[in-house]
Amino acid sequence: MNELIASYRISVRPYSKVKYIQHAVLICWYCLAVYFWPYFIPLVIKSTLIVSTLLFSLLCFYPPNIIYQKLRLQNLKDLKLKAQILKGQEEVFQLSELGQIYWVKSARSGQLLATSYFWPFCFYLRIINPISQKRYWKVIFVDQVSEGSARRLRRIIKRIKST
């Protein structure tokens, strides 16, 4: 089978509500554990730790430009303009059944390994950059891709895992 015939272009929206919900639940569990579990730690230290964790997570998970863009997008009333802004921010890459990922927007290329798997909420793709030989994980949340792209990703990952 020709690699060009088996390749698909998949666009990924940069923001995911599922990711934000997962991070919020994780932070809430951490704050509850810090507040209730170590009974011998004074309340002042617990409060300082919780506040610093909340500030750190806000700055790490939600950089200022994302917060500003989300607020700006909420104020837009024209749906066409909103769609154009979101379309310009999509990360588009080409994924083939033979295991190659060509990152179009960031000009990186890598190999999709058989260790990739699908979870109900995320696609975890392990990628090798052929130039630097660095390995990293690309996490794509389900609500970041369209239904057709999600079906393609599931089918490709299933095929790679079965070989």
Higher pLDDT pick, 51 / 141:
51
Work out the pLDDT band at 101, boundaries 50, 70, 90: very low
Mean pLDDT of 85-100: 49
CB atoms within 10 A of CB 161: 13
Query: Quick one: which H or E segment has residue 12?
Result: strand 7-12
HSE on the CB side for 49, CA within 13 Å?
14
pLDDT tens digits for range 35-62 = 787 777 788 888 888 888 887 777 766 6
Report the share of the chain in percent with pLDDT over 90: 0
Report the predicted TM-score, pTM, of the whole model to 2 decimal places.
0.41
pLDDT at 96: 46
**Terminal C-alpha separation, the chain:** 15
* Gap between the Cα atoms of 91 and 141, Å rounded: 13
Please check whether residue 122 is in contact with residue 141, taking contact to mean a CB–CB distance below 8 angstroms: yes
